[in-house]
Chain A
Amino acid sequence: MADHLVGGLHCEDVEDLAASFVLGALEPAEADAVRAHLAGCPEAHAEVAELGSVVPSLFDTVEVVAPPAALRERIMAAAVADTQRATDTQRNADTQRAADTQRATDTQRVIEIPRLSDTQRSSGGSAAFRRPLWTAIGLAAALALVALGAWNLQLRGQVDQLAAYRNAVAAVIDQAAQPGAQLAVLSQPNGAAGPSGLAALTGGGTSVSMVMRDLVPTSGTEVYEAWLIEGANAPVPIGSFTVDAGGTAIFATSAGAPADGSALTLALTREPRAGAITPTLPIIAAGKAAGQSS
């Protein structure tokens, strides 16, 4: 193997440090030097990957212990809080983009008007067959303006809905943080992509606050029905709601029966009309409740 000096290390230094490197047993500065060498060296340094390939197996030598039940809820709450920060940033960017679009639209309008006026003023000669062209451009511009306007409105609607969803998520998290409350993360039973959300259960399941997103809108008499399943008992309907084109739902009910302390599961189905007493499959989303009381 030819020797190369990359990242302050020779190839043979990297060989010498490889085992300690893959096990994380180097000082941070040494590890960075190895990384820099590997990134820049023309040699493949297969020995590093070979030794490294053993390392993940070491995880399987660890005795498995159960984490505290509240950890899951803590992580979910932290992720939700994180999402809100990210959403705020995104929202600022969206607002900025909407403002930019509005400015661009204004500029376009200023440019288009004189052109249309020129066309209207011109008469005879070549202008006669130029007019339809200008008119066509004017029409396209007008359509573009309408489209942009509609897009702005739609954007504003989305931002408002996002804000409402975000606030509702925060409220659900707050409720779930109360003593004795539980949090359920609703997702697809088979783990596929689809509607998801959160629900806070208080009073042993007597009150439920739920927030969902990515739901298919309801039409006609259709409703989404929420079900509370206690242990192995039959699902009990606790309330229904409709969903508009935004796909989000914010729902609160206190119709649930007091539970005896068995595990609670929340499920959501789509029903042809309100008042279902048994759920119509498939389950749209479901989640087990977990919290301080578990």
Chain B
Amino acid sequence: MSGPEIVARGGPGPNADRTDQETMERLANGDLGALDRLYEHYGAMSYSIAYRITGNSAAAEDVVQEAFLGAWRNAARYADARGTVRTWLLSIVHHRAIDAVRRRRPTIELPEIDTGLPAGLTMPDTWDEVAEGLDRDAIQVALARISDVQREAIELAYFSGLTQTEIAERTGVPLGTVKGRLRLGLQGLRAAMLATGVDRG
């Protein structure tokens, strides 16, 4: 396949979550069909996130495979996580993709990877979503409300896998300024999303 091809959608929205819960129950019972279904729904979105972070299709494929295998093994633990199945799964993808890019960089100290635990046992932190039900356009609108430097800091953290210290080095500003940009950026996004949600609700 030559280069990524743009597809129309990134899987069903949060409304699909009730069906997703059933899929998770089946997954916890070792049903391969449920894994296939999860991939059908979120494979493209998972790959897109992994590709955006790693910038490399082979690495992105490895990340998605690890993430789905992690979900397959840990489906029973989904009940303990917050948020939707979509967020849970995509957070696992994100977590592993960031891990992959950080391992390529010598600048960050990572704990020993060989803990004897199978891949996927370290699960990401998840939270209840403020923007559940908001579409991509609304999120783009919210993103346009915050300043360029705030958006840049968030993107460097979330999609380039830089730590706050590395962001400070990269952008040439003090660490305190980076922390402020990340905080104000997230708060601004939250306010914009809540406003949109209220407008629509």
Binary CB contact string for chain A from 40 to 53 against chain B (1 if under 8 A, 0 otherwise): 00000000111111
Flag whether B169 is at the interface (Cβ < 8 A).
Answer: no
Please determine whether A56 and B83 come into contact, CB atoms closer than 8 angstroms. Answer: yes
**B contact residues, total (Cβ < 8 Å):** 87
Q: How far is the CB of A222 from chain B (nearest CB, A)?
A: 23
Please determine whether A51 and B158 come into contact, CB atoms closer than 8 angstroms. Answer: no
Which residues from B are CB-within-8-Å of A237? none
Instruction: Name the interface residues of A16-47: CB closer than 8 Å to any CB of B.
Output: 16-29, 35
Instruction: Name the interface residues of B55-90: CB closer than 8 Å to any CB of A.
Output: 57, 60-61, 64-65, 68-69, 72-73, 83, 87, 90
Flag whether B100 is at the interface (Cβ < 8 A).
Answer: no
Instruction: Name the interface residues of B125-155: CB closer than 8 Å to any CB of A.
Output: 125-131, 134-136, 139-140, 142-143, 154
Flag whether B22 is at the interface (Cβ < 8 A).
Answer: yes
Among candidates B32, B33, B39, residue contacting A80 with C-beta atoms closer than 8 Å: B32
Report the interface size class on chain A.
Answer: 35 or more
Nearest residue (CB) in B for A25 is B157
Which residues from B are CB-within-8-Å of A67? 43-44, 46-47, 60-61, 64
Q: How far is the CB of B27 from chain A (nearest CB, A)?
A: 10
**With A and B bound together, what is the CA distance between A81 and B74 in angstroms?**
16
Most buried by B among A62, A65, A68, A69: A65
**With A and B bound together, what is the CA distance between A50 and B194 in angstroms?**
11
Which residues from A are CB-within-8-Å of B69? 75, 78-79, 82
**With A and B bound together, what is the CA distance between A64 and B12 in angstroms?**
13
Binding-face segment, A187-195, A201-209, A266-274: A187-195
Instruction: Name the interface residues of B5-30: CB closer than 8 Å to any CB of A.
Output: 5-10, 19, 22-23, 25-26, 29-30
Which residues from A are CB-within-8-Å of B179? 16-17, 19-20
Known contacts A64-B48, A65-B51, A68-B61; A56/B129 CB under 8 A:
yes
Please determine whether B37 and A74 come into contact, CB atoms closer than 8 angstroms. Answer: no
Which residues from A are CB-within-8-Å of B31? 187, 193, 196
Which residues from A are CB-within-8-Å of B33? 185-188, 191, 196, 285, 287
Which residues from A are CB-within-8-Å of B35? 75-76, 79
**With A and B bound together, what is the CA distance between A22 and B158 in angstroms?**
9
Please give the residue numbers on chain A whose beta carbons come within 8 Å of chain B beta carbons, in ascending order.
16-29, 35, 48-69, 71-72, 74-76, 78-80, 82-83, 86, 185-188, 191-193, 196-198, 285, 287
